[in-house]
Chain A
Amino acid sequence: MIRVAWLVAAKDLRIERRSRVLLWQVLPFGVMALLLSGLALGAAHAGHSNAAPGLYYLVMVLVALLMINRSQVIEGSPGTRASVATLGLDPAGVFLGKALALAVELWLTGVVLLAGAVLVLHTALGGTLSALPSVVVTLGALAAAGTLYGALSGGGQGPATLLPVLSLPAFAPLLIAGERSFSAALYGGALLQWWVISLVALVAYLAIGILLYGVLEES
């Protein structure tokens, strides 16, 4: 399972590195969305608003939706599913691999956007850095959940529009946990508690994915 996971993750990341979609499409979108959220707050509030952690995670959720779609598009190219089925790869490994690749992409984007939050939304550098472990875990959970929902929405009619409908209700608790832990890191509060909640969500989604991904990919 682990070997398959590494193979699939390496394959997805290699495709991403060659296509540069992350660099030239997703990242600029994230930066633009962060700037727009600053504008939406208004010039007077953007620099010192308690809403900064929530806006950061909202942007990350939007970015994640783009990336999940992208991750499914890779699988949707002609013959990919058939060849994966022919190779007899363990579906749990495929799930873990795709989730890992997505998580790596989200982590990279997440770090860039954290720097953006420091610059644009004026979040304190120390607090932002101490939020990093919780950001890593929450984005990991987002990747695991997203991979599962991506598989659910792929292949049918309008997967790009179906994905947000399916995944946003499941992303809501992750958004809450992420926002609270980031807020706790910036303004004080129960940082560890929210970090653990994100960790449990990550474990839960990984477990569900390992169990059910095979059922979704079954033909």
Chain B
Amino acid sequence: MPSADATFDLTPVAAPPSKRRGRRRTIGVLVVLALAVLGLLSQGLLHSLNYFETIDQAMNSRARLGTETIRLEGVVEPHSIVRTSSGASFWMSGGGKEVLVHAHGSPPQLFQANIPVVVVGHFTSSTSDSFYGTQILVKHSASYIAAHPKRVQAPNGTVR
């Protein structure tokens, strides 16, 4: 029989965690997570979040698109821009195909020939290669080149 002044440790004791099981589960879950992400990427499923359709993509699925509003991307063909009272008309190319764009509204200040643009609008019919645009967005490239690379600085400090 224990004496009256014997001290008992009554603080709750937590059961020792089963480390091995926990680690196995962690690894298993991480593998599932990695497989899910890899599966997603390898299937190219994420391509569905594209901001625009390229001209060749749009032309190939023109029957399905009909006159639905889409964002169409292509490069403005040189010497094709005609400024109109309501906006601009120009040929836009991409993937070896061309579309005639009639855009309404004033284009952004960088709008020019040979620049990639995204036009919001729709084909005039499901068989036509004519596109009616309500907005032009200029999609500038990631390269930065000096406007006048061969410019020289005169002794008086002015740049020519």
Nearest CB on A from B67, distance (A):
13
Q: A88-B15, A200-B37, A207-B32 are in contact. List 10 more A-B contacts (CB 8 A).
A: A176-B49, A180-B48, A196-B40, A196-B43, A197-B48, A200-B39, A200-B40, A207-B30, A208-B33, A210-B29
With A193-B48, A196-B43, A197-B45 given, is the CB distance from A203 to B15 under 8 Å? Answer: no
Q: Tell me the nearest residue of chain B to A210, going by C-beta.
A: B29
- A184-204 contacts to B, CB under 8 A, are 188, 190, 193-194, 196-197, 200, 203-204
Interface Cβ pair total, 8 Å cutoff: 39
Q: Which residues of the partner chain A approach B26 to less than 8 Å between Cβ atoms?
A: 211
> CB within 8 A of A203: which of B25, B33, B45, B46?
B33
Q: Tell me if A63 counts as interface (CB < 8 A to partner B).
A: no
| Interface of A, helix, strand, loop or mixed by DSSP | helix
Q: Which residues of the partner chain B approach A67 to less than 8 Å between Cβ atoms?
A: none
Nearest CB on A from B51, distance (A):
13
Q: Which residues of the partner chain A approach B40 to less than 8 Å between Cβ atoms?
A: 196-197, 200
- B39-93 contacts to A, CB under 8 A, are 39-40, 43, 45-46, 48-49, 64
Q: Tell me if A92 counts as interface (CB < 8 A to partner B).
A: yes
Q: Which residues of the partner chain B approach A88 to less than 8 Å between Cβ atoms?
A: 15
Q: Which residues of the partner chain A approach B25 to less than 8 Å between Cβ atoms?
A: 92, 210
A200–B43 Cα gap in the complex (Å)? 12
A62–B122 Cα gap in the complex (Å)? 34
A203–B36 Cα gap in the complex (Å)? 7
Asked whether, in the complex, the Cβ of A204 is within 8 Å of the Cβ of B33, the reply is yes
Asked whether, in the complex, the Cβ of A190 is within 8 Å of the Cβ of B48, the reply is yes
A194–B15 Cα gap in the complex (Å)? 44
A203–B32 Cα gap in the complex (Å)? 8
The 6 closest A-B pairs by CB, nearest first: A207-B33, A207-B29, A203-B36, A200-B36, A193-B45, A200-B40
Asked whether, in the complex, the Cβ of B33 is within 8 Å of the Cβ of A196, the reply is no
A190–B29 Cα gap in the complex (Å)? 29
12 contacts between A and B (CB under 8 A): A193-B48, A194-B48, A196-B45, A200-B37, A200-B40, A203-B32, A204-B37, A207-B29, A207-B32, A207-B33, A208-B33, A211-B29
A193–B43 Cα gap in the complex (Å)? 9
